[in-house]
Every structure is written in structure tokens, then in C-alpha cells.
Amino acid sequence: MADEDDEIILSELSDDELVLQMHDDLYDGLKEEIEEGVNILLGRGWVPYDVLTKALVGGMKIVGDDFRDGILFVPEVLLAANAMKAGMFILKPLLAETGAPRMGKMVIGTVKGDIHDIGKNLVAMMMEGAGFEVVDLGINNAVEKYLEALESEQPDILGMSALLTTTMPYMKVVIDTLKEKGMREDYIVLVGGAPLNEEFGRAIGADAYCRDAAVAVETAKTFVARKHNSMGA
């Protein structure tokens, strides 16, 4: 019975306490609590972008760091990302209205012949959690599908994943096609998946190989910052 007395009433917490509690709730993958927290902060007059960055992105950064350090594993991260998604669902239309700044945009998909998507989904969720807009093409993507999405979405980043050694070479097909069309320099190309390594990433002409979702987020941030700086220079 003691536990019931200790139940935290989110609406009774101060703003700072609530943000910290939301970090904990995200970490624990508590979807409904995150939705409630988002709505409370909005009700208190918080601008959507602050709710996103301070409560959600701030919380996912802790999740990402612990995932990178081997404290959390894929199932926990998927739960946290799911809770984050529920919060994002409330914020998305509001962010669109306010024209909030975003980190950048990514098109991501598993390559042709490969139907594995847990790693890709994790990257997509973690990227959203870091404030990127993500367009997920799903699995089994032929080069045409990638090209179509790049043309229509105009992203900063193209992400490709593969879990099979037999489908890995298809990443090179996509990158070579971009080169042929003179489009390669327009995008940051990140690749990932269990059988890949840095050497393979370099050999096929990707900008970087990302060994997991946490690394993908950090790598994406670094490259996008570099891209913006060179454009501004």
C-alpha cells in the first residue's frame, strides 16, 4: 500500500521538477505520463519548442548516452523512443504552426533485398528525439525509391541500413548513382547495420559509418553543423 501514497502527481510539480520527472518517465518508457507532462507544460504557457528540447530531447539525450555506454539496451531504448513519439505527436502540429527551428532533415531506409528494420527504426526514433525531421522509407528500397525521396524531401542526410552481408553492396549502388547524377555532394550519407564497419563505409564512399543509433545522432549533428557553417561562411 505504501506505494500508492508515494504516487507523483505531475500537475503538482514545479516546471523544473516536472521536466526532470519527464526525463525519468522517458527513461522508463512511460508513454501516458509523457503525454500528460507535455500537456501540462503547454497548459502552463510553454512554447512547443521548449517542451520539445528541454523535456523530450533532454530526456532522450540521457537515454542515448546510456545506450552508447551499454547501460541501456535496444528494448529499453525502443520503449523510451515510443514514449518520446507520443509526446512528439502532440507537439508536431504546434511546432509546424510556430515554424520552430529544427536540427535538419533525414531520409532513411533499409536497402533493397533487406527486410530488417529494428536498427533503422531505432535510428529514426533517436534522430526524431534529437530534433531532426525524419522521413522513413521502410524496408527493401531500390535506388529509384531513394532518389525519389531525395528529390521530393530535399533532406540534409540520407541514411541507409543493411543487416545482411548480401545486401550491403547495394549501398554502393545508391551512392554511385548519386555520383553519376552529380547529386552526391548535396547530401550527408550515413550508413549502418550489424555487418558493416568503418572501412566498408569509406570504401563505398559514405560520409560515415554509424555503429548504433546513439552514434548516428552524434554524427548527424556534427555533419549538419559543419554543413551549415560552410554555407554561412
What percent of the chain stands above pLDDT 70?
96
- Asked if residue 2 has pLDDT above 70, the reply is no
pLDDT attached to residue 53 = 87
Inter-residue contact 160 to 139 (CB < 8 Å)? no
Burial 159-170 (b: 16+ CB within 10 A, else e): bbbbbbeebbeb
Residues 163-173 have a mean pLDDT of 96
What percent of the chain stands above pLDDT 90?
74
Mean pLDDT taken over the chain:
92
Inter-residue contact 84 to 55 (CB < 8 Å)? no
Residues 180-193 have a mean pLDDT of 97
Residues 181-191 have a mean pLDDT of 97
Residues 100-117 have a mean pLDDT of 91
Residue 102's pLDDT band, with cuts at 50, 70 and 90, is: confident
195-221 pLDDT, tens digit per residue, is 999 999 999 999 999 998 889 999 999
pLDDT attached to residue 230 = 76
Contacts of 67 (CB under 8 A, 6+ apart): 73, 76, 77, 212, 213, 214
Lowest-pLDDT range, 72-81, 93-102, 166-175? 93-102
Give the three cell numbers for residue 79: 520503449
Q: What's the predicted TM-score (pTM) here?
A: 0.77
Burial of 26 (0-12, 13-18, 19+ CB in 10 A): buried
Enumerate domains of the chain plus CATH numbers: 8-100 (1.10.1240.10), 102-233 (3.40.50.280)
Residue 158 parent element (H or E)? strand 157-161
pLDDT attached to residue 232 = 62
Residues 94-99 have a mean pLDDT of 79
Residue 9's pLDDT band, with cuts at 50, 70 and 90, is: very high
Which residue bears the cell 527513461?
27
- Asked if residue 193 has pLDDT above 90, the reply is yes
Contacts of 163 (CB under 8 A, 6+ apart): 110, 114, 116, 119, 193, 194, 195
More confident residue, 8 or 146: 146
